[in-house]
Amino acid sequence: MGRVLALAIAFYVYGDASFDGRRPAALDKPLREFRRSVDAIPSDGRRALVAVDRLRAQHTLDHVLRALNRASL
């Protein structure tokens, strides 16, 4: 597990713009994309949490509306 983490950190660092001239051409795009993907995690995570929160609120609202419908019968 430690070696995989160290390798992922190395890929992330090597994808930085300061290594543009030092990366092999074949690895240039994949390493930059990997870095962009890792950098997008916080914003994607926030969006996912907001979506889950909305679904939870919708479920609660649905539950309340069903209870109201049952009470009015």
Provide the 10 A C-beta neighbour count for residue 22. 7
Helix boundaries (H) for 16-40: 25-39
Provide the 10 A C-beta neighbour count for residue 34. 16
Q: Pull the structure tokens for residue 26.
A: 């074949």
Res 73: pLDDT: 59
- 3-class secondary structure, 16: coil
Tell me which residue of 4, 15, 7 sits closest to 40, measured CA to CA.
15
User: What pTM, to 2 d.p., does this model score?
Assistant: 0.56
Domain boundaries in the chain? 1-39, 41-73
Structure confidence by residue, pLDDT tens digits, 28-72: 888 889 999 999 999 888 888 888 888 777 777 777 778 778 876
